[in-house]
């Protein structure tokens, strides 16, 4: 029993198991393809590129108040 790989621009891909089924599908817009064939891919183009910072941003050396540890007086230790 042959395995026939088909693809359609709207419905995607499918597998036919009979020649008669594949022929019927081809009449309805399906095309045969080889899943083991290498695919040529174009290099990805970036739509936007990052700009390098003109001056480095200075980071503060102190811990912000809302990040500092706080003792919980309700624990009662």
Distance CA 5, CA 28 (A): 15
**CA geometry: angle at 4 spanning 7 and 8, to 5°?**
10
Cα–Cα distance measured from residue 46 to residue 64, given in angstroms and rounded to the nearest whole number: 37
Q: With contact defined as beta carbons under 8 Å apart, do 5 and 34 qualify?
A: yes
Rounded alpha-carbon distances, angstroms, from residue 62 to 1, 7, 11, 57: 73, 61, 59, 15
Residue among 66, 27, 39 at smallest CA distance from 16? 27
The pLDDT, as a whole number, for residue 68 is: 62
pLDDT tens sequence across 37-77: 887 777 777 777 776 667 767 776 776 666 666 666 665 55
């Amino acid at each position: 029993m042959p395995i026939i790989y088909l693809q359609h621009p709207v419905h995607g891909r499918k597998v036919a198991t009979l020649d008669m089924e594949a022929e019927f599908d081809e009449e309805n817009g399906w095309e045969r393809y080889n899943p083991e064939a290498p695919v040529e891919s174009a290099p990805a183009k970036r739509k936007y590129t990052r700009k390098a910072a003109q001056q480095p941003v200075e980071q503060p050396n102190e811990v912000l108040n809302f990040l500092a540890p706080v003792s919980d007086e309700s624990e009662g230790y």
